[in-house]
Chain A
C-alpha cells in the first residue's frame, strides 16, 4: 500500500489539475509537460538506467510522430479511435529502435554516443530529402478530430486532449517503472556499472543494452504519437539533433540517478520554456546558466538535491538548515534575479524599439533611462551574491552537520 501511494497521489493530481489550471494555454502546457515526461523517462532508460548517452534520441519520438500524422491523414482514419494512436507510434518507434539498436548497442560509451549522433544528423537530413514521408520543411499536419469518436468524445477541446495525454502518460510511466524492476531492467543497471562483470554472470551486455534500447524506442514513439495528437503537426525540428539535446538537458536537470528525476526535469523545463519563454526572449540564456551550474555543482540534478535532504530529515535535523538557507541560498537567488534584471535592462536598451524606454520587470513599470532602476538592480545583485558567497562556508558546515550521524558517545 505504501508503495502505491505516490501513484495514487499522482493520479489524483493529474485528475484535478484542470480545475485549477483550466485555461486553453494552461491545458496545452500541461499536455506538453506530460509528453516531455514520457520522452524524458524513455530517454533516461538509456542514460540513467543503462549508461548509454544518446545524442539522437529525438529520432524515435519524431518517427512515431510522423507515422501517427500519416495515419491521421488516411481516409480510413475515420474508423480508427484516436486514443489508440500513440500505440501505433510506439510500435513504429520500437521497430525503428530495433533496426538502429541492432548495431549501435554493440558497445556503450563513446562509440554508442557517436553512432546516435550520426543517426540523428542522418535522419534530420532525410527529413528534407524524403519529402514523401516527411513533407519537407513544412512537415506533415493532420486533424485529430477526424478519428472515430471514442465513446462520443471527439477530442476537439483542449480538456479532452489533456485527459487523453495525461492517462497515456500515467500508463507509460507506470510501465516504465515496472520495466526497471524486471530482471532485464535490473541487469541494465548492472551493465551500466560494470559490463564485463555482468557478462561473467551469464548476461550478454550487448543483449541487455539492446532490450533497453528497443523498449526506450517504444516509449519515445508513444511520446511522438501524443505529440502528433496535441500539436497536429510534425516537422524536422521534432527529430533533429537540437531536439535530442533538449531531452538530454531535461533528464540531467531532473537528475538521472533516480527513476523519477526526469519527471521533475520535464515539469521544470516545460515551465521555464513556456512561462519564462513568454516573459523574456532570453529564457534560453538563463536555462543554459542553470544547466551549466547544475552539471558543475549538483551533477545529481534536482532529484539528487531533494534526496540529499533525506538523511537530515531522518535524523530530525532538517530544522537546523532553515537558518543557513535563509542567509545563503535566499540571498543567492535574489542576487541572481538582480543580475538577470541587469541583463534584461541591457537587452531592452540594445534591442528594444527606438524611443521605447518603458519596460516592466518583476511587475514594476519603469524607464530604462532613469538611473535608479540600474542602481537598484546592481545593488540587489552585488549584495545578494556577496551575502551568498560570505555565508557559503556556514551553509556548508550546517549541511555537513545535518547530514552526518553524531559521533558515537
Chain B
C-alpha cells in the first residue's frame, strides 16, 4: 500500500545553515501522526517543505505516491493535502460563513468560473453550514471572522482546513496559546473532524499529542531521532535524553 505521505532524505538549507538534515518518514493512510521536538528543531520548516511553501534543497516528498517537487501550494492542495498554520490564518474581513464557503469552492469544482453564482448554490450553502455545525460556530455565522475570539478563530482555521475534503490534514500547533479548557475543546474537535483521514500535526502540548496520536516522530536539529507508537517513543532513551525527559516526568 502507498503511504499517504513519504519523505525521502529531505533536506533544506537557508544559506550555509542546514535546517532539515535528511528526514525519512513514512506515514500510512488514516494514521494520526504527531511531530514533536524542542524549539528550533525545524518542525515548522518541515511543514513548509511538505506543503510547498518553501522548495526543498534535496530529497523527495511524495503525497499518495505522487512527487510534489516544484509544485505550488495550490497544486499540492488540489492533490488532496490541506494545512493549518501556527499563526491564525483566516480571511478576517469576510464572514465566518464565507470563510468556510470559499474553502469549499475548489474541491466542489467551481474553479475560476464566472458563470456560477455562489449564493445560488444550495449545495455550497448546506455544506458550509454543516461544517459550521461541526466546529460549533453556527451562532457566529454572519460575523466578520476577524472579531471572533482566539479559540474560535483557531476552530475556524481547522474548519477551513478540513472543508475542502482533503484526505491528508496537516495542523501546525493547533492548540498554541490556549487555556486548558480551550485545548480540551480543540482536541475533541480535531478528533471529530479528522475521522478517517490522515492527520499530521506539530504540537507542543504533550497531553494533546498523547491523546490524539497513533504515532510520534521526534525531530531534533533537523533529524528524526525516533519514530513509533507513543509508548515506544516515551521509553526511548535517546528521546528522553534529547528532549522528553523533563516533560515526561511532569506529565
Cβ–Cβ contact A204 & B98, under 8 A: no
Q: Enumerate chain A residues within 8 angstroms of B73, measured Cβ to Cβ.
A: 196, 199-200
Is A79 an interface residue when CB atoms closer than 8 A count as contact? no
- Choose from B74, B93, B116 the contact partner of A203 (Cβ within 8 Å): B74
CB distance from A353 to the nearest CB of B (A): 54
Which residue from chain A places its CB closest to the CB of B112 in the assembled complex? Answer: A184
Cβ–Cβ contact A197 & B91, under 8 A: yes
Complex Cα distance, B72 from A207, in Å, reads 13
Is B14 an interface residue when CB atoms closer than 8 A count as contact? no
Cβ–Cβ contact A200 & B112, under 8 A: no
- Choose from B103, B112, B115 the contact partner of A201 (Cβ within 8 Å): B103
Q: Enumerate chain B residues within 8 angstroms of A183, measured Cβ to Cβ.
A: 105, 110-114, 116, 118
Contact (A193, B114) CB under 8 Å given A202-B106, A203-B74? no
Contact (A200, B93) CB under 8 Å given A182-B116, A183-B116, A211-B112? no
Q: Enumerate chain A residues within 8 angstroms of B174, measured Cβ to Cβ.
A: none
Cβ–Cβ contact A201 & B164, under 8 A: yes
- Choose from A179, A203, A205, A207 the contact partner of B114 (Cβ within 8 Å): A179
Cβ–Cβ contact B74 & A200, under 8 A: yes
Is A25 an interface residue when CB atoms closer than 8 A count as contact? no
- Choose from A184, A186, A201, A208 the contact partner of B98 (Cβ within 8 Å): A186
Complex Cα distance, B82 from A189, in Å, reads 20
Is B192 an interface residue when CB atoms closer than 8 A count as contact? no
Cβ–Cβ contact A194 & B74, under 8 A: no
Which residue from chain B places its CB closest to the CB of A175 in the assembled complex? Answer: B114
Is B45 an interface residue when CB atoms closer than 8 A count as contact? no
Q: Enumerate chain B residues within 8 angstroms of A203, measured Cβ to Cβ.
A: 74, 105-106
Is B41 an interface residue when CB atoms closer than 8 A count as contact? no
CB distance from B170 to the nearest CB of A (A): 10
Complex Cα distance, B118 from A202, in Å, reads 17
Complex Cα distance, B82 from A260, in Å, reads 35
Complex Cα distance, B77 from A242, in Å, reads 43
Counting contact residues on chain A (CB < 8 A from B), the size range is 20 to 34
Cβ–Cβ contact A181 & B77, under 8 A: no
Which residue from chain A places its CB closest to the CB of B166 in the assembled complex? Answer: A202
Is B117 an interface residue when CB atoms closer than 8 A count as contact? yes
- In A50-86, the 8 Å CB interface with B consists of none
- In B154-180, the 8 Å CB interface with A consists of 160, 164
Q: Enumerate chain A residues within 8 angstroms of B101, measured Cβ to Cβ.
A: 186
Q: Enumerate chain B residues within 8 angstroms of A123, measured Cβ to Cβ.
A: none
Q: Enumerate chain B residues within 8 angstroms of A207, measured Cβ to Cβ.
A: 112
- Choose from B89, B90, B102, B107 the contact partner of A187 (Cβ within 8 Å): B102
Contact (A189, B91) CB under 8 Å given A181-B118, A184-B113? yes
Complex Cα distance, B123 from A183, in Å, reads 14
Cβ–Cβ contact B102 & A186, under 8 A: yes
Complex Cα distance, B120 from A178, in Å, reads 11
0/1 string, A28-43, CB within 8 A of B gives 1: 0000000000000000
Is B78 an interface residue when CB atoms closer than 8 A count as contact? yes
Q: Enumerate chain A residues within 8 angstroms of B89, measured Cβ to Cβ.
A: 194, 196-197
Is B51 an interface residue when CB atoms closer than 8 A count as contact? yes
Is B32 an interface residue when CB atoms closer than 8 A count as contact? no
14 contacts between A and B (CB under 8 A): A178-B117, A181-B118, A182-B114, A189-B102, A190-B94, A192-B93, A193-B91, A194-B92, A199-B73, A199-B74, A201-B74, A201-B102, A202-B106, A208-B112
Interface residues of A (CB under 8 A from B): 178-179, 181-187, 189-190, 192-194, 196-205, 207-208, 211, 215
A185-B114, A202-B77, A204-B74 known; 15 other A-B pairs, CB under 8 Å?
A: A182-B118, A183-B111, A183-B116, A183-B118, A186-B102, A189-B94, A190-B94, A190-B102, A192-B93, A197-B91, A197-B160, A198-B102, A203-B74, A208-B112, A211-B114
Closest 6 CB pairs of A and B: A202-B106, A183-B110, A193-B91, A199-B73, A182-B114, A202-B77
Interface residues of B (CB under 8 A from A): 51, 53, 72-74, 77-78, 82-83, 85, 89-94, 98, 101-103, 105-107, 110-119, 160, 164
